[in-house]
Amino acid sequence: MTRLIPINSKEDILPKYRDTPIGLLIEYHNLNRPYETYDRAQLLVGMCIDNRKHLHMPDNFSFIIRSAGANLRYGEFEISYAIAVGQIHYIALIGHNNCGMVDLISRKTEFIKGMVSNAGWDEERAEKHFTHFEPMFEIGSEPDFILSETKRLRLRYPKVMIAPMIYLVEDTRLYFIHES
């Protein structure tokens, strides 16, 4: 995680994101900016389903799409809807460290056993399910995946500003990922 850029003051917000809804998100979350009132969403946040993450921001400030690993490949209609109908021009794509979508294959046995005991599936069905979906949801390295997903989304939505970020579970803060 050495490619992370800490944000401890407004001056630490990268200039291109300062004075944008992305900068405001960081000010609310990391810098305890007092909440303002919003009538409509200012940005879209794409983040993981992990329950250890909670963002500090005002009501109505953001649309949020949660998907395993912050993988938005299968959520493009929701993204397009937020852009087209919600008039969103900014996306914060937020991964986090210690993500369960890294090295999914190591959780295959646990996954199968969990589907059998918690969902009532038989082992064969659970294994086929895992085998089918694991390649779609394995993200590899968290920062690398967020950077590749940012690049893909920028190509798909060229007029939308997209910021790649990481949430560190142990300190609950947002960081930019250095783009080289």
Domains and CATH numbers, the chain: 4-101+141-177 (3.40.1050.10), 103-138 (no CATH)
What average pLDDT does this structure show over 26-36?
98
Q: Is the pLDDT of residue 82 over 90?
A: yes
- At residue 176, the 3 state secondary structure works out as strand
Phi, psi of 43 (to 5 degrees): -155, 170
**48 closest CA partner among 98, 79, 103, 94:** 94
Is the separation of the CB atoms in 169 and 155 below 8 Å? no
What average pLDDT does this structure show over 40-63?
96
Q: Is the pLDDT of residue 131 over 90?
A: yes
Q: Is the pLDDT of residue 44 over 90?
A: yes
Burial 116-144 (b: 16+ CB within 10 A, else e): eeeeebeeeebbeebeeeeeebbbeebbe
Q: For position 180, what pLDDT does the model report?
A: 81
Query: For the chain, what percent of residues have pLDDT higher than 90?
Result: 96
How far apart CA 65 and CA 22 sit, in angstroms, is: 15
Q: How confident is the model at residue 7 (pLDDT cuts 50, 70, 90)?
A: very high
